Chain A
Amino acid sequence: MLYEYLIAPFADFGFMRRALVASLALSIGGSAIGVFLILRRMSLMGDALAHSLLPGAAMGFLIGGLSLPAMSLGGFIAGVATALLSGVIARFSSMREDASFAAAYLTAMALGVLIVSLRGSAVDLMNILFGAILAVDEGALVLVVSTATVTLIGLAAIYRPLVVECFNPGFLAAMGVRGSLYHYLFLSLAVLNMVAGFQALGTLMALGLILLPAVASSFWAREVWSMSLVAAPMAFASAAIGLLVSFHAGLPSGPVIVLFASCFFLLSLLFGSRASVRARLSRPVHLRG
């Protein structure tokens, strides 16, 4: 009975197995990225960045059809270009970076939808916007797993400068370190993860598995590394549960996975060990000193 519900879908169907492995890799790399996005107060900018993959992916689609390498490469180029452009615009004008991000992503979304409609059908557009985790093939799996590897190694390498750049950028500058270099290295890693998430969850929700578990983890842990450690299992659990539920109920998998990630966020918000609703309401006895 339990076997039938929990194990059989993965044992019997290759596409479910590949989806599970892909979401494991996404969870491990993405959640660390998510933690940094939150700490840099860039959650919404990250979301804008994910949307801006669309025209690139659409160009890839126009040239190569529904081919993952072409669309991924296009998406990566579009994402990095958006990040760089917004940074440059913010630096050379008095515009704030969040405003320039918003401008860039609205432009990108409009352009992307237009490009897809030039050749594709409504189904293609749905695929690009919302992804299809059950369509993950060997090639996509290699892409997602390599992304997770590059992300973890990359983050480990730039960890210290990145942390200092987050909380005291002036100190880095006084030490003669160019903080913006690490900012952009981090942004490219973030774009890389969004590209990896794009096949599974689409450009609209690619950030779901990255950001929601990270937000949830902030109710449990209070150092960068421990937040990442809490976030990754939550991301993977939402993916695994989401896959099973969507399989049995015949629902689209992407939104179900993201909704389960939202459940983890809500539960953490209510019952987390720090700054949660429970911690606020329980009025623990105060200590002596």
Chain B
Amino acid sequence: MNAALRLTDLTVSYDRHPAVHHVSAEIPAGEMTAIVGPNGAGKSTLLKALIGLAPQVEGRIECTAKRIAYLPQQAEIDRSFPISVLDTVLLGRWSRFGGFGAAKPVDLHDASHAIESVGLSGFERRPIDTLSVGQFQRVLFARLLLQDADLVLLDEPFAAIDSKTVADLMVVIRRWREEKRTVVAVLHDFDQVRRDFPHALLLARELVDAGPTSRVLSSENLLRARAMAEAWDDHAGACDVPLRLSA
């Protein structure tokens, strides 16, 4: 298997308490992989570690992707900020013009094309604080489109989103797969994962299973994941599993 991401003995902690604990797994390149697990299982933390936003990371992350795009949870964005849809989408070209360069006509053209392909034509000049949750998610997908990344990380892309929007955005995601991009999404809807994502990674702070979705989402595995204590033991001693590698 050609891996886009290889995690070896990955531990990510907040205040020394591990949110992701000794996880080793591979994520296949050019495929769609879902990360599933109960709340507090470390799914978002895992994505954050992949793009370098996590505070304390031990273990090894090997990544073959050159460009990574990341969709944050909407709560991490100030949606009342006075900025237009077009400006938000254009940020996807940051890697090309950075903080100081000018957007070229081709960037503007691509941006309006991206806005069109997520179904928001005519919204270019609208301030983002006038959009619904679903519309704003479309804006963020347009920005992802512009990032032209070979690895796309989506953190709960469909939380609080209606089925029509989910269907439209799934079209975008499937197109990424046809273009041989790797997609990794944190999801909660098991039916959707079974339907649309051939690969899955079941996390409960520790890795429960990773591989073909039909095997990973077995009732036995899900039961094990659910049994995971959502514990934050204030008196936990130092972890005695020896670290085989250090970052």
A residues adjacent to B (C-beta < 8 A): 39, 157-158, 160-161, 163-164, 166-171, 173-177, 221-224, 227
Given contacts A39-B82, A158-B99, A171-B72, 8 further A-B contacts (CB under 8 A): A39-B81, A160-B99, A167-B77, A173-B51, A221-B82, A222-B82, A223-B83, A227-B82
CA distance A163 to B127 in the complex (A): 14
Report how far A166 CA is from B72 CA in the complex, Å.
15
Counting contact residues on chain B (CB < 8 A from A), the size range is 20 to 34
Cβ–Cβ contact A171 & B91, under 8 A? yes
B76 at interface (Cβ–Cβ under 8 A)? yes
Give the secondary structure class of B's interface. Answer: loop
Cα-based distance from A190 to B42 in the complex (angstroms): 39
Cross-chain contact B51 with A163 (CB below 8 angstroms): no
Check B99–A224 contact: CB distance below 8 A: no
Complex contact B53–A170 (CB within 8 A): yes
| A173 close to B78 (CB less than 8 A) | no
Residues of B close to A161: CB separation below 8 A = 99
Q: How far is the CB of B241 from chain A (nearest CB, A)?
A: 27
Contact B76 A168 (CB under 8 A): yes
Ordered by A's residue number, 11 sampled pairs between the chains whose C-beta atoms are within 8 Å are A39-B82, A158-B99, A167-B77, A167-B81, A168-B78, A171-B91, A173-B52, A174-B51, A176-B52, A222-B82, A222-B127
B residues sitting closer than 8 Å to A (CB atoms) are 51-53, 68, 70, 72, 76-78, 81-84, 91, 94-95, 99-100, 127, 129
How far, in whole Å, are A191 and B19 apart by their CA atoms in the complex? 39
Taking a contact as CB atoms closer than 8 A, the residue among B68, B81, B84 that contacts A174 in the complex is B68
Which residue in chain B gives the minimum CB-CB distance to A225? B82
Main secondary structure of the interface of A (DSSP, over half): helix
Chain B residues with Cβ below 8 Å from A163 are: 81, 83
Once the chains are docked, how many angstroms separate the CA of A54 from the CA of B95?
43
| Contacting residues, chain A, for B127 (C-beta < 8 A) | 222-223
Residues in B with CB closer than 8 Å to A221 are: 82
| Cβ–Cβ contact A174 & B70, under 8 A | yes
A169 to B81 CA separation, bound complex (whole angstroms): 12
- Given contacts A174-B51, A174-B53, whether A166 and B99 have CB atoms under 8 Å apart is no
- On chain A, the residues within 8 Å of B81 by CB distance are 39, 163, 166-167
